[in-house]
Every structure is written in structure tokens, then in C-alpha cells.
Amino acid sequence: PCEPFSAPFDVYLPEFPDQDINEIDTIVQPDLIIICDSSKIIQKGCLGAPDLVVEILSPSTAKKDMNEKFLLYEKHGVKEYWVVDPGNRYVRVFHLQTNDTEADKYDDGILIPPADWRDENTIAESLILEGFKVDTAELFKEP
């Protein structure tokens, strides 16, 4: 039942439930998102947190993706956040940890190493989407 979308695709992150979409100030355009709750898909994009967000780092976006967007996705409840770094050839997968006494926080992330690291697992696998996985050896394979 999950659907993927790629940029440009707006994600509206409301500050409170039932906030009018025209009053939402936080709008992002991740590189790739997966939405499993079809009620979040609206004509303008996605209303609320997608289940999984993938950002592909570039020199001009890396700081924003790893800081500002990381905190936004964490705050708004994106269950899984993948950061793909083509320059360093790795994927880092963060999972939202639910805590009854504090705000939900991402774990430290699982680093899927560059494909040229020997004797290392090169499979990045989702914990929330069964069967969704990426082999970094293939992803970063030289042409």
C-alpha cells in the first residue's frame, strides 16, 4: 500500500493537528519519500510526515540535510530517514525511537559503508518497509 514520490514533491509539516494547509510554514522537498498512509497524499503533495525520507547529499545541501532537515523529520515523526552520500559512498539509516517519557528521537543511525570496504555488509535495509533494501555496492558502482 506504500507509494514512492520524488522531488519536486512538497511535504507539509504542520505544527499542530488539523492546522489549515494554507497556514503551514514548514514545507520541504525531500529527494525521495515513501508514504504508506494514503490519507496523507493530497493534491499539493503530502500532508504530515512520510514514513520514509531519503536525502541525497551534495556539497550545497549536506549541512541542511544533516542538521535542519534531520531535526524537522525527527520532530514531525518521520519513522525512517536515509542519508545517501555519493561523495563518500555511504548510506546512513536513522530510525525514530519512540519514548513514552520524552520526545521521539532518532537513533545514532546505521552506517552502511562504502562498497570498497572489505568484509563489510553493504546492504541498507528498511526496518519499516518489508523488502526495501539497497546494495551500496550496486548503488555506488563505477560505470
pLDDT tens readout for residues 70-86: 999 999 999 999 999 99
User: CA–CA separation, 21 vs 46, rounded Å?
Assistant: 10
User: CA–CA separation, 22 vs 72, rounded Å?
Assistant: 19
- pLDDT value at position 113? 75
Q: Which residue has the higher pLDDT, 113 or 17?
A: 17
The number of beta carbons lying within 10 Å of the beta carbon of residue 139 is 16
pLDDT(119) > 70: no
Q: Residues 73, 75, 77, 82: is their CA dihedral positive or negative?
A: positive
pLDDT(1) > 90: no
The number of beta carbons lying within 10 Å of the beta carbon of residue 137 is 16
| Reported confidence tier of residue 122, pLDDT bands at 50, 70, 90 | confident
- pLDDT value at position 117? 59
